[in-house]
Structure 1
Amino acid sequence: MKRSLSILALCAASLAPVVPTAANAAPLSIKAEQALLRALEDEYNAEAFYDAVMEKFGAVRPFVNVIEAERKHAAALTDLMQHYGVEVPANTRLGSAAVRAEVPATLAEACRIGVAAEIANRDLYAKDLMPAAAGHPDILRVFEALRAASENNHRPAFERCAQRK
């Protein structure tokens, strides 16, 4: 549990300066707005899947810890979107039957899906979202923190889970 708390603390600390100031808020490009929406959708998808896993298997690690981080990631993105006047959509996948149907039969398989999802998340930020937000240092700072959390915290936690199950 102590390691889990340190991961959450690290994520929270890296996202602390997410509210942009007027000095660094360039007008939001369409590409940057779309990047924010894609990032939020990805965080919502992760939250919905991890929630469905816990619905099936109980409040198990690492899902119980990573879902809290995903919620903080979504909140950081929401703060940015509100600052730029972008409408924040609801997480319509949370609690949906479609997401519940995606949950595999075993916890080990769910952990392997978590590994793949965190790798895809890392790559989405690095290859697509960060280039689309060029010129917006406030958005890039948040995207980099979220990319790093997937790579350095969430992926290793799911890898450990997949190995011990």
Structure 2
Amino acid sequence: MSEKLKSALIEAINDEYKSRAAYNAVINKFGEIRPFINIVEAEGRHVEALLSLFAKYNIDIPEDDWNSRIDTPTSILDACQLGVRDEIENAEMYDRLLDLTIDYPDVQQVLKNLQRASKENHLPAFQRCVERGGAREDGGNRTGRKKGNNRKGLGQRGQCLK
């Protein structure tokens, strides 16, 4: 196991910890609103996918102390704008980390899956939230979830599907 791999995985999990803590802070302040309730669950799955790599390569898992390090946005719109910025930065981070882990195809696959979820799912959801001015989506109940909303989980070998 290389130092590059260790650094890449630590950076990745800290970024996922940070996003999960930020989105949880929004939920704690404003209630169970979309897209935050959906994406915070996905961030948890991202952490789990990375933890499997920490175990495989016998790397010590960094402490998740992000809940104490997050400043909660003052409005839902601010939170959505923060989500857009965070997801863009997340995708850019994965470009860098993919370059560092080229010798590890299994790591590459997980990182590509996490990057894809960020670019194709999370970013568009936050962009829609910004376009709505932070207003709740129509058709949702108190939690912002529509009836019959099914979520995808992890596929084989820790591959994130959402």
Query: Is TM > 0.5 for Structure 1 vs Structure 2?
Result: yes
Query: Is 1:68 matched with 2:41?
Result: yes
Query: Which residue does 2:81 correspond to in 1?
Result: 112
Rounded to whole Å, the distance in 2 between the matches of 1:31 and 1:83 is 16
Q: Which runs of structure 2 are paired with 1:22-61 in the superposition (5 Å)?
A: 28-61=1-34
Q: Which runs of structure 2 are paired with 1:69-108 in the superposition (5 Å)?
A: 69-94=42-67, 96=68, 98-99=69-70, 102-108=71-77
- Counterpart of 1:141 in structure 2: which amino acid? Q
- Counterpart of 1:47 in structure 2: which amino acid? R
Secondary structure of the residue that 2:66 maps to in structure 1? Answer: coil
Give the CA RMSD over aligned residues: 0.8
- Counterpart of 1:103 in structure 2: which amino acid? T
**CA drift at 1:105:** 1.4
Larger helix fraction of residues: 1
- Counterpart of 2:85 in structure 1: which amino acid? A
Rounded to whole Å, the distance in 2 between the matches of 1:37 and 1:103 is 24
Query: Which residue does 1:7 correspond to in 2?
Result: none
2:117 to 149, 155, 159: 149
Rounded to whole Å, the distance in 2 between the matches of 1:93 and 1:51 is 11
- Counterpart of 2:84 in structure 1: which amino acid? V
**CA drift at 1:90:** 2.4
- Counterpart of 2:82 in structure 1: which amino acid? I
Q: Paired residues, what number?
A: 133
1:121 to 80, 85, 90: 90
The alignment-based identity, stated in percent, is: 40
2:106 to 133, 138, 148: 138
Q: Which ranges in structure 1 are unaligned for 5 or more consecutive residues?
A: 1-27
- TM-score normalised by structure 2 residue count: 0.80
Secondary structure of the residue that 2:34 maps to in structure 1? Answer: coil
Secondary structure of the residue that 1:103 maps to in structure 2? Answer: coil
Q: Which runs of structure 2 are paired with 1:3-22 in the superposition (5 Å)?
A: none
